[in-house]
Amino acid sequence: MDSQTFAHQFLLKEVEKMQTADVRLHLLAAMVHGIETSGALLDQLPFKAKGQGKKRFDLALQKLFPKEYSSANQKVNLYSQLRSHMAHGMLPAKTIHVVNDNADQHLIFLDDMLTISLRSFYNDYRSAILLLMEKLEDGKLKNKRIVFENLRGLQV
Query: 60-78 pLDDT, tens per residue?
Result: 999 999 999 999 999 999 9
Query: Residues 6-12: contacts with CB within 8 Å, 24+ apart?
Result: 6/41, 6/146, 6/148, 7/38, 7/41, 7/129, 7/132, 7/133, 7/136, 8/133, 9/155, 9/156, 11/37, 11/38, 11/129, 11/132, 12/126, 12/129, 12/130, 12/133
Query: What is the C-alpha separation between 12 and 124, in angstroms, rounded?
Result: 12
Average pLDDT over residues 32-53: 95
Q: How many Å apart are CA 1 and CA 104, to the nearest integer?
A: 39
At residue 121, the pLDDT reads 98
pLDDT the model gives residue 92: 93
Number of Cβ within a 10 Å radius of residue 88: 8
Q: What pLDDT does 16 receive?
A: 98
Does residue 129 surpass a pLDDT of 90?
A: yes
DSSP string, 2-69: BHHHHIIIIIIIHHHHHHHHT-HHHHHHHHHHHHHHHHHHHSSS-TT-TT-HHHHHHHHHHHHS-HHH
User: Cα–chain-centroid distance for residue 111?
Assistant: 25
State how many domains the chain has.
Answer: 1
State residue 55's pLDDT score: 97
Q: What is the pLDDT of residues 103-120, one digit of tens each?
A: 899 999 988 899 999 999
How many whole angstroms separate alpha carbon 148 and alpha carbon 112? 41
| pTM for the structure as a whole | 0.93
| Domain assignment of residue 94, given as a range | 3-154
Q: Residue 33: what residue type? A: H
